[in-house]
Amino acid sequence: MALEVRGVAYSYGDRVALDGVDLEVTPGVLTGLLGPNGAGKTTLMRIVLGVLVPDRGDVRLDGAPVDSAVRQRWGYMPQERGLYPGMPVGEQVVYFARLHGLSRADATARARALLDELGMSERWDERTDKLSGGLQQRLQLATALAHEPDVVVLDEPFAGLDPVAVADLSDSLRQRARAGCTVLFSSHQLDLVQNLCEDIVMVDEGRIVLRGPLASLRAASSGVQLRVNVRSRDRRWLDRFAGATVVSEEADEVRIAIPHGTDPLEVLDAARAAGHVDDFGLDLPSLSQLFLEAVTPGSTTAPAASSSATGSRMPAGAADGSAR
């Protein structure tokens, strides 16, 4: 079920939080809604979930309008804790599953399976407020998945997690995507989720500045660099590649920024003709670098792989605070 957002705009008074946002989340693919704090990610998620009504635009699922009955089949993990502190862990998951219509027997079976998957089976009878922050985050994920939702929306699920917890949560999200679930999660920790996202939607000051398959965006970026360790001081072999520039040079290693469309293997052939090549590699830009490229005036992100915002930009910090 493809989740679609079309032309969504929202303002908090005179503060524009979202300014005509369009995106599509494909089932079976992990889609990251990324951007700095204050970019508008949480506002967008609240609109998707029906908590806020947009000033204009709408949310659709497979082309049909979304209502409360459709959202009953969705799972949501908020950025803020949405748990009952005094309730035992197992009872908490059972309760949320029953809110979505499961019988007590089915809810209990589902809760035990989820807590086992998340490494919390031994915590069944513990009070929620006695858990560490990381364990509470895992528990919150379990409550979001308790009813086996068709669509999963998670707001900053990796906030405050250690690397082990990040890996475990990532595995759970991958499993849901492989099963055909529609998964959208937000994060401002760009490079933390670089190896998890398949598609990305990058937001800055309420507008989409970059979107598409991550692999394609990285390959099409103007920030692609080649690392060549060639036993030759003569760099004339680079002259045949128009637009290629030497970024750094140390001993026999040269790092080259290559323009979009340059074949790295042709560069390798030229380097081998000039001298013995000990090392060769293609360094693709990180998510942080893609973001900086997208929001920097005069950047040359390939339009075929991304969609950059147009028009005037809001003053820095205008979307901070309530416009999250």
Contact 231, 252 (CB under 8 A): yes
Report the distance separating Cα 40 and Cα 54, nearest Å: 13
3-state secondary structure of 271: helix
Q: Which amino acid is at 304?
A: A
Query: Residues 192-201: pLDDT tens digits?
Result: 888 899 999 9
Average pLDDT over residues 69-98: 93
The residue that leads in pLDDT, 313 or 56, is 56
Report pLDDT digits (tens) over 213-223.
Answer: 998 888 888 77
pLDDT of residue 149: 94
Q: How far apart are CA 91 and CA 255, in angstroms?
A: 57
CB 228 within 8 A of CB 268: yes
Taking only the tens place, the pLDDT of each residue in 7-22 is 999 999 999 999 999 9
What are 135-160's pLDDT values in tens digits? 999 999 999 999 999 999 999 898 87
Give the residue, 282 or 57, on which the prediction is more confident.
57
For residues 146 and 111, is the Cβ–Cβ distance under 8 A? yes
Q: How confident is the model at residue 88 (pLDDT cuts 50, 70, 90)?
A: very high
Residue 314's pLDDT band (boundaries 50, 70, 90)? very low
